[in-house]
Amino acid sequence: MSDPHDAGKDRPQRWDRRRSLGAGLGGAIVLGVVLLLVVGLTNQTVSTSVVDALEAGKRPSAPAFSLPVLIPGGGVGPVDATVSLGSLAGRPVVLNFWASWCPPCQAEAPILERVWERYRARGVLIMGLDTQDVREDGVRFAHDYETTYPSVRDGSDRVRDAYGLTGLPETYLIDAQGRVALHIAGPITQLEQLTVPLEDLLAEGAGAPPKGRP
């Protein structure tokens, strides 16, 4: 017959194992929550690399994108066809982020249209990028403001984040090599804001940075 006191000997060992298991489980839960926070914060990060590089006097590569065509034009289309920035290489691109509900975007649309009419024959492409907008409102915007330059649509904000947008509208001038040469934060209020850097870009054949500044 075993000694009843012997049964108690296993108790501290069992308790230690249970405590280790509890600590392990608690640690795993804490680690999981921290991991989720890190993933969440990483996904929300808005890139500032393009603007930072421009401020340092460099021409960073324009973040690539493939987006569906919202408004066709200038050889870009048809509607819903996917267009990538890479497919537009070889000519300067004025990439304009806009939304139909944004009053400054409405104000600058006629100026962009005039630039488009003046420079399209010289190989410049004005490319609108409708973001944070209801699709049908975007289409109505192009109709109401009689814009004929093409636009693509970004519903997910990925492109907007990649370019480091802080508001709307914002415009990027991309050279023929696919590098960002100029960033205009806010609306274009004067034709010269675009025509001066575009002339520089066309003259240099994408060499030195354009003189024009927003």
Partner 1 sequence: MRRALVVVLLALLLLPGAAAALTVNDVAQKVRCPTCNTPLDVSNSPLASRMRAYIGARIERGWSEERIIDGLVAQFGRDVLTTPDTSGFALLAWVIPGIAVVGGLAAMALLARAWARRRPAPVAAPAVSAADFRRVQEELDRLP
Per-residue binding letters, 17-46, with partner 1 (x by CB under 8 A): -x---x--xx--x--xx--x----------
Q: Which is nearer to partner 1, 6 or 136 (CB)?
A: 136
What is the smallest separation between the CB atom of 179 and partner 1, expressed in angstroms? 29
Distances (CA, A) of 176 to 35, 87, 121, 143, 189: 41, 11, 15, 29, 25
Q: Which is nearer to partner 1, 155 or 207 (CB)?
A: 155
101 burial (CB, 10 Å; 0-12 / 13-18 / 19+) is middle
What distance in Å separates the CA atoms of residue 178 and residue 30, rounded to the nearest whole number?
44
- Enumerate residues 87-146 that contact partner 1 by CB under 8 A: 99-102, 132-137
Q: Element (H or E) spanning 83, and its range?
A: strand 82-84
What is the smallest separation between the CB atom of 64 and partner 1, expressed in angstroms? 18
Binding of residue 86 to partner 1 (CB under 8 A): no
What is the smallest separation between the CB atom of 82 and partner 1, expressed in angstroms? 15
Please give the backbone phi and psi of residue 208, each rounded to the nearest 5 degrees, phi first: -75, 160
- Enumerate residues 41-70 that contact partner 1 by CB under 8 A: none
Pairing outcome for strands 66-71 and 125-131: unpaired
What distance in Å separates the CA atoms of residue 98 and residue 109, rounded to the nearest whole number?
9
Q: Which is nearer to partner 1, 73 or 138 (CB)?
A: 138
CB 147 within 8 A of CB 138: no
Q: Which is nearer to partner 1, 83 or 99 (CB)?
A: 99
Please give the size of the binding site for partner 1, defined by CB under 8 A.
Answer: 22
Q: How many CB atoms lie within 10 A of CB 180?
A: 22
Q: Which of 107, 64, 88, 71 is nearest to 193 (CA)?
A: 107
- Enumerate residues 150-179 that contact partner 1 by CB under 8 A: 155-157
What is the smallest separation between the CB atom of 105 and partner 1, expressed in angstroms? 11
Q: Which is nearer to partner 1, 135 or 143 (CB)?
A: 135
67 burial (CB, 10 Å; 0-12 / 13-18 / 19+) is buried
What is the smallest separation between the CB atom of 137 and partner 1, expressed in angstroms? 6
Point out which residues bind partner 1 (CB under 8 A). Answer: 15, 18, 22, 25-26, 29, 32-33, 36, 99-102, 132-137, 155-157
